[in-house]
Structure 1
Amino acid sequence: MKYTEITHPSHPHDLVLGSAEEPYQCDGCKEVGFGPCFKCGQCNFNLHEECAMPEPSAFHPFFSKCDFRFYENAPGSSDRFYDACGKDVRGFVYQCSHEHDLHPCCMKLQRTLIGDGVKLHLSDKVSTRCLKCGSKEISKGFRGWSYESSCGQYRYHVACVKDLVLENWRRGYFDDGHNTMALQIMVRNEDIVQQTGGSSSSRMKVSKYWRMAKVALTLIISAVFGDPTTVVATFIASLLSS
């Protein structure tokens, strides 16, 4: 059953499910969100769907020995970060006795994404570089979670996709339909870029590679941000058409 109106203990007014036309800060986890959220009609209060309706306890297959509990404020040290995306824990969190922390949205990420000939799997142990940052690690000693294609050619950190969308929204790329974001990502793969000056066959391979990489990126954006706003959806369409 899908709820469209709820009460929440963190807020005095009823919250209604709607689509935000602009990016918003979730008042639960304190992260920026796009698309559907529960929002207050009387004041500027918003919650991700995942933050608005968390489970009291949860399990994740990446942490087979952990029983996660939901907290509005993480117990223990304030210097903590989410294991999946590396972001600082500033609000709602799932935490286990082994002190692993998961963002409510990361907890519910789909394990498998499929679309237009691309199949991606969520992984916490990626062996090759992210196409956005060009590294296996988000930061020194920390890999985070990634989506990787079955063929092994396309992979993106969840954190990199989040940062990518936010960075390019701030730069106005969503407003004018530029495909700069896609171009910046793809040139990270040096082996592919080196082929661009080659034969017609090489250029066709490059074109196919870029198209499939864009499909992969589109699937991940939708998984991370949910049903995108009109602005983000338009941008995703521009990725696939370029």
Structure 2
Amino acid sequence: MAGREEVWKHSRHEHGLRLREGLPRYRCSGCKALGADVGYKCGSCPNFVLHRPCADLADEYIHTLFPEHPFNFRRRTRLRHGCDACGKLLRGFVFQSSRGMRLHPLCMVVPVRFRHSGHRDHDLQLVVQDEGIYKCKNCDWQNTKWKYRCSNLDCGVRLDMNCAIVDTLRLSEYGITQVYKPSKLRRALGMTAEVGKVVSSAMVGVTPTVIGGGVRQ
């Protein structure tokens, strides 16, 4: 798809930015999350690209669910903080509210209600209240942060913020399943799960022998 040609002099970068479409997978220079297809590219810095929300959002933003507490743009946080929506570490651009809430730009602009490609029967509604641990229907990871819940409560479908962002931006078409870098713990758990699968597959058909109260294969 042909790129658009307007050049925008943006306060968040020293050079003009050009809105492009059909971009391959990239990491946003602003919020440090993955993106693809649409983004603002710098003509002078070959590796500089911003998500559209990271460029388009005003310095002060009113969130639909928090109209009394405006969010203000920050280039980064002074200390290490996690996003209040998804729980992932804030590594770059962030919006912070007057009540101390911090959100990734992508978490800021996700729709309050949408229909997921893997659950087309009902709409999913954004829920920000803490309802304890839940398991994401799409990726099976457990979470306690913001989620999308099926409007039909009998379904029991829950979706985490990462999977909602991937679906609404259609990033899976570019091989993206995680927009933010997974934590060390999550990477370790993923590696452990893969090792467990390999071990389990290798042990199929092996009869255990009990010796001295223990089990030896």
Partner of 1:174: none
How large is the Cα RMSD of the aligned pairs?
Answer: 2.8
Query: In the alignment, is the contact (CA less than 8 A) between 2:23 and 2:38 conserved in 1?
Result: no
Partner SS state of residue 30, structure 2? coil
Distance 1:5 1:33, change over 3 A: same
Q: From 222, 235, 241, give the equivalent of 2:167.
A: 222
Say if 1:30 and 1:90, in contact at 8 Å, map to a contact too. Answer: yes
Q: Which residue of 2 aligns with 1:26?
A: 28
**Residue 121 of structure 1 corresponds to which residue in structure 2?**
125
Report the 3-state secondary structure (helix = DSSP H, G, I; strand = E; otherwise coil) of the residue aligned with 2:86. Answer: coil
SS in 2 for 1:118: coil
In the aligned structure 2, how far is the partner of 1:58 from the partner of 1:11?
Answer: 19
| Alignment CA distance shift 1:69-1:88 (3 Å) | same
Alignment of 1:155 onto 2:158 = yes
Contact 1:124 1:144 in 2 (8 A): yes
- Which protein has the larger Cα radius of gyration, Structure 1 or Structure 2? 2
Deviation at 1:126, TM superposition (A): 6.4
Equivalent-residue separation in structure 2 for 1:229 and 1:19 (angstroms): 16
Which aligned pairs between 1:101-116 and structure 2 lie closer than 5 A?
101-114=102-115, 116=120
Counterpart amino acid of residue 13 in structure 1: H
| CA drift at 1:65 | 4.3
Q: Which has the higher helix share?
A: 1
Would you say the 8 A contact 2:106–2:165 is kept in 1?
no
Displacement after TM superposition at 1:158 (Å): 0.9
1:113 CA displacement: 0.8
Higher relative contact order by CA 8 Å / sep ≥ 6: 1 or 2?
1
- Structure 2's unaligned 5+ residue stretches are 177-217
Which of 69, 74, 88 does residue 71 from structure 1 map onto?
A: 74
User: CA, structure 1 residues 227+64, in 2 after alignment: closer, same or farther (shift >3 Å)?
Assistant: same
Cα 1:38–1:106 change in 2 (3 A) is same
Give per-residue Cα distances to partners, 1:118-162, cap 9 Å, x unaligned.
Answer: 211111136453223353xx2xxxx22111211232211113x2x
Counterpart in 2 of 1:54?
A: 57
- TM-score calculated relative to the size of structure 2: 0.64
Q: How many residues align?
A: 164
Q: Which amino acid aligns with 2:136?
A: C
Structure 1: gaps of 5 or more residues? 162-218, 234-242
User: Is the CA contact 1:35–1:227 (under 8 Å) kept in the aligned structure 2?
Assistant: no
Equivalent positions of 1:126-205 (< 5 A) are 127=131, 128-131=134-137, 132-133=139-140, 135=142, 138=143, 143-152=144-153, 153=155, 154-159=157-162, 161=163
- Structure 1 Cα separation of the partners of residues 10 and 165 of structure 2: 29
